[in-house]
Structure 1
């Protein structure tokens, strides 16, 4: 029996939930800047404990934003951009839908200005 991953909506929800926390956004930024590093190194630049960093990294990992790789006794984390890319595409699609709706409303309003209803 194979286990399927989350669907597109659940994946976006997971990414947005993970990114809602400022500490997790900072961790993602640090990982993007530094490459593959340990939780200990990441904790050095944050006002939280190493244990808190590990918990935040677990949330980012569950959302598909980071990956963990064991290197001897260390666990090294790195950014996985695919989930963030998919979320950005979803947001772009949502924005495009709203742009189309607003353009239609604008066209209707402009048409109503040019052709006012008859007066009784």
Structure 2
């Protein structure tokens, strides 16, 4: 499964374009799944090292919907709007919180291809 993660806090261009990219992958025979950060309650990483000792994140929030998808995925498409010259805060939080996935399964992201889509506006 190819996991698409939309880092937009709104249902706008980023989620739409990610959907188009995933549809193109489906047409090539890949199974896909779109995970939207929009509307999710996902807190920033506290870098408390709890995950290193306990193999899970101490913060129990909507990131627990994403963790199993990350482990199952064979590849990733990350899509973010460009805010202030960088990725959205939502995308940054999701990327930082993968630390718990890596603590639990250190090889969970190895040899999984990925691509990024950055959406600019105005």
- TM-score normalized by structure 2? 0.29
Larger RCO (alpha carbons 8 Å, 6+ apart): 2
Look at both structures and tell me which one has the larger radius of gyration over its CA atoms.
Answer: 1
Q: Which has the higher strand share?
A: 2
